[in-house]
Amino acid sequence: MTVVTRFPPSPTGYLHIGSARTALFNWLYARHCGGKFLLRIEDTDRKRSTQEAVGAIIEGLKWLELGWDGEAVFQSRNAARHAAVAAALLAKGRAYRCYCTPEELTEMREQARREGKPTLYDGRWRDRDPSEAPAGVAPVVRIKMPRDGKTTIADLVQGEVTVGNEQLDDFILLRADGTPTYMLSVVVDDHDMGVTHIIRGDDHLNNAFRQYYLFAAMDWPIPAFGHIPLIHGADGQKLSKRHGALGVEAYRDMGYLPEAMRNYLLRLGWSHGDAEIVSTQQAIEWFDVAAIGRSPARFDLAKLESVNAHYMQASANARLVELVLPFIEKRQGEPVGSDGRARLLAGMDGLKPRAKSLAELAGNALFYVSRPQHPLTNAKAAAMLADDAPQRLSEAAGALAAADWKAASLENAVRAYAEAHGVGLGKVAQPLRAALTGSNASPGIFEVMEVLGKAETIARIQAVPGVTAHA
């Protein structure tokens, strides 16, 4: 059997972080089994579905590098097929037309509440002759569910789950206007797409029992179900925006790497021993639904930052340059020239260990592509250029002019100057840092000087107010 999984988002908003994890688990299981991962856009809610949301979902999946097999299926285009299945169930005697008016249904529910009973449809049209139908009432089509006994589903994550069949009412397949319901559309599409494993959030667990019988009513193979606990915030409450539950594109725009996001989402509810950093290839090799925990995972933004920092350090410098350029160009409002790109590449080894995101990396790297503007906005750096700092910089520039322009030689020259003038190295190095970077923190200042080059370094020193130009 070829394993076929699917990810079926509704295009009513962005790709939520919880939905992204569901997509990842389906993708990994399909790849682990050598099967197929399919995408279905469940756009039957025409009032709330938007093309913008479709684009956001597809863009989010592409950014996460969760490629699907074949073309995306749009559920709304299959409405005629869904209605045909409802007609087939009517012909088999496994569904029936219900002529209850809205008023009758309301009274039915209110009476059930008064009697302390579940507010389920009572099946009053299940065995009645359609000739008794009241005039002017367009019927819905309902499935005939079992009324006695129990149903057990062997869930791949939750284990055996059992419900009493009295809790499963005859739900609607076709509305009075002839349009199919979500429950019908999902089952028909899953069958037609050959889905073998339905892996989704445990908020759909109740639906599984209804869908189970709809598959059975059509004599179709019943897929395996696996229901994943939802993600909670650090406080144990249901994940929301206040916990950092944003759309996937927001994490991209904050500067997280797709491989870091995949690794982090993977560990939200799934584990393989003590492994925290799991490459995509390892994840495909190791992933199994049985290893998904039954307790809700907790979203931790600090942990995501830590994982992202690891992947940034492991990334090739040239790739990081290309990824960070849009962040830098957005901040400075203009393209980065070839000199700036070259400096970014040369200085990346010193930059990337100091950042947890591309946005942070961009902020740290700005000095390589543009000169500090005086007076400095960084108060601590500005303080480093006060008092006798301009004199020190003037003299240091003279000492540096004759040095071989390599970090080690530059450090030796500055140390020699400091010793000759009886001052600590910091009295010279810190003003140099402020002059060259506009900040009080940066990669090693001698590395910075080597990357900037002699002409740029001297020019930045000379731009500090009070520094005497060095010939």
Active site residues: 241
Residue 274 CA, distance from chain mean position: 23
Peptide bond into 375 cis (omega under 30): yes
For residue 376, count other CB atoms closer than 10 A to its CB: 20
Distances (CA, A) of 15 to 9, 47, 64, 200, 240: 8, 18, 11, 15, 13
Report strand pairing: 95-98 vs 150-155.
unpaired
Q: Tokens standing for 413? A: 């020259």
Q: Which spans in 402-471 are helix H? A: 407-420, 426-437, 445-452, 454-462
Other C-beta atoms lying within 10 Å of the C-beta of residue 63: 18
Please name which of 342, 365, 333 lies closest in space to residue 352, comparing C-alpha atoms: 365
Closest CA to 39 of 61, 15, 55, 12: 61
d(CA 185, CA 188): 5
Full strand arrangement of the beta sheet holding 36-41 = 4-7, 36-41, 73-74
What is the Cα–Cα distance from 385 to 296, expressed in whole angstroms? 53
AA letter at 110: E
Amino acid letter, residue 327: F
Report the amino acid identity of residue 216. Answer: A
